[in-house]
Structure 1
């Protein structure tokens, strides 16, 4: 079962980490004045923001205000999230309908943040309100403003649901929230995105134990994010899976996300292995072309004449390529059950081609060791190699 993203029915009003700033009233008013024609895409909205604001703080406020003000929570759609949609498809549909659930708010806001030059990430996790842990997943974003990380939840900041109806009411508590405070209500599946040097566990979240505990091992999340950003996608997933498991598979949501990421990891690794396999096939085909060129040349009794070193190179080059192909194909991991037979067939073809190349190589070595008179008596018809 897929994780369902849901806006909770009531928002906790006792949170005190919202940022009160008279400057934001100016930003909000400017975003109210954005022309309708400039709101058809995140790029046009970002262009408007970049043209009207200079500081990161003003820009992120503008992006947050527009997202929270212009998107309404899609109550009928909260159990019908299309998990096959790409991020850009989610964004396009949300901008067209001006409705969505948390993943749509987060996708639009995150895309805006990145287009206005702010480092940001969509964070997936779950939440707690009034002491009760939700059994549904949630999504929000984190952004780095003036070299410091903050949390933004445009979904919770846009209004609230009561008795099955959405009410638009901006809530500043979920704008530019301190990670150490919002952890009371929002915990990521992957503790990397807590942005805390002493991350809390899922058990601690359930128990409300969010105080900094320096008895724990220090976690340099800034450095870990830097390392994460340069990893290949499969390695990012692997590291995330390890962190999720380490922090405790406390509930079905976490377990589902954990299993989902493991499946993604298997898929990505198989995809990488298939790409490796395809690269090997390209090299094998190159070798087969060269091998057949040599066979034609041999069948023509090595005419026109080439030097001994050139003749040797004609067969040694495809042989070396095939040796590399054979070595490489045995280092390719799983390609999935659907491609297993193809992989085995390719292994067999490489083996057969290499066997032929080695036979021709032995012939050439023997040929080159003989006198010119003897060489003329050594030719017999050779069959060209075909990949099956």
Structure 2
């Protein structure tokens, strides 16, 4: 009977070598398997990244773009469609954004023809008619539709940065309040991109409902209030790329500032904007141009108000002079009637009304003269002459009133004798 195999020393060595080779082979195979698994995982991840991103707004976008063409001729029509189609504000603003970004192509040949001072109506009508526009057209169109759809919105103007370099032409975008929160919208950058001198339509949702802290990395408003940040970024910090929150700065309540801004007159709004632009730093020709234009607007506004004031003074003077002239003519008509011994006959109230009308005219003239404040030298002399005329005629009017009161107090038989006491002459002549 054969017992267990007996291994000599050389057999042990062979067995060890055999086992070692087997383990090494297994190890290599396992390593290859692990590498293959990792490679497949990476390829799978890359495939996922390469696949089109899911558009969370697809349903809203589809409805928004179904708007009848007849309603796209005006912002009123577009706003009506969006309002009736999307009851929720967040859906409505998406509908507006996708319509503008999809239907308006960037007007590349006119990309440098930015004119912030063109009327808002012209900026809106151009893209509606041509389906082309530049940033100011995109922004004003989006903004106007939002406002008419019941969504609070503003056009924001400033400059931008791309790939670390600040652009040398200004830009316009929008700040819009959606469900009580302010977001930034750039329908221009959100509509596509320019490459090789050609515009490519491609919706970029980064510029839809962007939070202010993100947009400030590339978009700098001229007026820091429109950053919608509690610690605004200065112009120099924007250039340096230092746009992170810095709480060592003074706190700025942009919400309260905007509420206060909305209550200001147009002139006060411009003055406040000019101060903020200067405080934040004028670092380029774009900011300088904007600041200078605001100052020109303020000067034009001052002149316009001064002209309005002067016109008001002239109108007051002319009206006062007219009242005075009518009063003098009516007083002389009364004197002539009295010299004719009140013939043809009138009732006592009718006679009294003649002088009452004169007094009313003179009082109106005095009141209007008193409203003329700080007249220019040319008008001062004319006002002085008119004031002198009114002051001189009032005692004569009072004299006539007293005589008439006495006349009415007498019996009819005694009244006639009063006409022979004195013959009254006319009072002067009206002013030219």
TM-score of the superposition, structure 2-length normalised? 0.75
Give the CA deviation at 1:311.
5.4
Count of residue pairs the alignment pairs up = 353
- Tell me which residue corresponds to 2:134: 101
- Tell me which residue corresponds to 2:363: 316
SS in 2 for 1:155: coil
Give the CA deviation at 1:363.
4.3
Q: Supply the distance in 2 between the matched residues of 1:292 and 1:380 (Cα, whole angstroms).
A: 13
Change (3 A) 1:129 1:318: same
Q: Which structure would you say has the larger RCO, counting Cα contacts within 8 Å and 6 or more residues apart?
A: 1
- Tell me which residue corresponds to 1:249: 282
- Tell me which residue corresponds to 1:122: 155
SS in 2 for 1:279: helix
Aligned 1:54-73 pairs, distance under 5 A: 54-73=87-106
Give the CA deviation at 1:356.
2.1
Give the CA deviation at 1:367.
6.5
SS in 2 for 1:113: helix
Give the CA deviation at 1:249.
1.4
Aligned pair 1:140/2:187, yes or no?
no
- Tell me which residue corresponds to 1:213: 246
Give the CA deviation at 1:381.
4.6
Aligned pair 1:45/2:78, yes or no?
yes
Give the CA deviation at 1:23.
4.2
Q: Supply the distance in 2 between the matched residues of 1:196 and 1:114 (Cα, whole angstroms).
A: 23
- Tell me which residue corresponds to 1:199: 232
Give the CA deviation at 1:300.
3.0
CA contact 1:298–1:379 (8 Å) conserved in 2: no
State the Cα deviation string for residues 81-101 of structure 1 (Å, max 9, x = none).
Answer: 456642122212211111111
Give the CA deviation at 1:352.
2.9
TM-score of the superposition, structure 1-length normalised? 0.83
State the Cα deviation string for residues 1-31 of structure 1 (Å, max 9, x = none).
Answer: xxxxxxxxxxxxxxxxxxx985411111112
Change (3 A) 1:362 1:214: farther
SS in 1 for 2:278: helix
CA contact 2:116–2:136 (8 Å) conserved in 1: no
- Tell me which residue corresponds to 1:306: 352
The structure with more helix, counted as a fraction of residues: 2
- Tell me which residue corresponds to 2:197: 164
Give the CA deviation at 1:277.
3.0
Aligned pair 1:230/2:263, yes or no?
yes
Aligned 1:260-339 pairs, distance under 5 A: 260-300=293-333, 302=335, 303=337, 305-306=351-352, 312-325=359-372, 327=373, 329-330=374-375
* Between 306-315 and 370-379, the greater mean CA deviation after superposition: 370-379
CA contact 1:298–1:382 (8 Å) conserved in 2: no
Gap runs ≥5 in structure 1: 1-19, 331-342
Q: Supply the distance in 2 between the matched residues of 1:191 and 1:21 (Cα, whole angstroms).
A: 35
State the Cα deviation string for residues 343-366 of structure 1 (Å, max 9, x = none).
Answer: 654454333322322232354467
Aligned pair 1:351/2:393, yes or no?
no
In our comparison, the structure showing a higher alpha carbon Rg is: 2
- Tell me which residue corresponds to 2:217: 184
Aligned pair 1:110/2:143, yes or no?
yes
